[in-house]
Structure 1
């Protein structure tokens, strides 16, 4: 008859290795799953059938979910007659406005934001020319009331649990090794 006898320290080692494995897994998940900050707001404006020397303003509206500060206005893509030249942008929301001429970070209230772009067609432009501009507005949420944007980076909770489980695994492994030595010394 064959008899299988479990080592006395085996439950300690199993618990230690399970804690180390779970801790490592949580650390990997925490590092691989960063929190997401709000995406920048993009807007597109189309200017059709411009005549030489014409000045035209087109507008678009966007929704801002919470109070935030406008930190930048940038062009992602400009095509047609808008590829070169100057576009003047004015962004207004809640009575506060920012423009590209003398841009400064500007607080905006939650709600509808108006984006107006003005272009002056060159004098040598072919009649009926058109162009499209894709712009991006970057905001940073105001800190008041805890309604700020979520932190970016690794998921802190997963990393904290991972470190705690790794420490518990190391402690259990140490206890198991100590018990193993003591039981070996008694034999």
Structure 2
């Protein structure tokens, strides 16, 4: 009877490990993790207080996707205190906001800089770098990130351990020498 209990325990442990492994492997490829980042960079020479200056950069979007965030990573020189306004353009321009959808291809990014009227500079310069983050629906962009690889590997490992435990439990119950 002790043998049946240990075989049953192995089988249950194997099935649980197998199920967790498959679940972990499937979770690691969910479309919610699909994203593309575009790093943007602008440099403005000879800025004057109260006088807007504008630049446009063109970037490539791999798939149809939604813009989910715009972050300025670094602002140097006179741009540290400047007002930066950004628009993302394809067929039409719009400020970044929730739900803005873009198609694959070229995306124009317009940045307008305005120094405060009381800024103490005459022809100062500055630079800004930022990041646009897009997510795609229905797994259109590749799943990225180191955590995805590790989750997939752990899922496969758990599935293999589960399969081995189930096979061992089944082998023991079918073995004629186990009855002795």
Superposition TM-score tier, normalisation by shorter sequence: 0.5 to 0.7
Match of 1:13 in 2: none
Match of 2:116 in 1: 122
TM-score of the superposed pair, with normalisation by structure 1: 0.65
Match of 2:101 in 1: 107
Deviation at 1:83, TM superposition (A): 0.9
How far apart, in 1, do the equivalents of 2:53 and 2:34 lie?
A: 35
User: For each residue in 1:70-117, what CA deviation from the matched residue of structure 2 results, as whole angstroms up to 9, or x when unmatched?
Assistant: 112111111111112321101112x143315xx332111111111011
Deviation at 1:127, TM superposition (A): 1.2
TM-score of the superposed pair, with normalisation by structure 2: 0.67
Q: Which runs of 5+ in 1 are unaligned?
A: 1-19
Q: Which runs of 5+ in 2 are unaligned?
A: 1-13
- Rg comparison, structure with higher value: 1
Match of 1:97 in 2: 93
CA spacing shift, 1:118–1:163, aligned 2, 3 Å: same
CA spacing shift, 1:39–1:174, aligned 2, 3 Å: same
Match of 1:74 in 2: 71
Higher fraction of helix: 2
CA RMSD of aligned residues (A): 3.3
How far apart, in 2, do the equivalents of 1:161 and 1:142 lie?
A: 26
SS at match of 1:137: strand
CA spacing shift, 1:166–1:82, aligned 2, 3 Å: same
Match of 1:147 in 2: 140
CA spacing shift, 1:38–1:181, aligned 2, 3 Å: same
User: For each residue in 1:24-74, what CA deviation from the matched residue of structure 2 results, as whole angstroms up to 9, or x when unmatched?
Assistant: 9xx6xx88xx66844411100001111232211011110011111111211
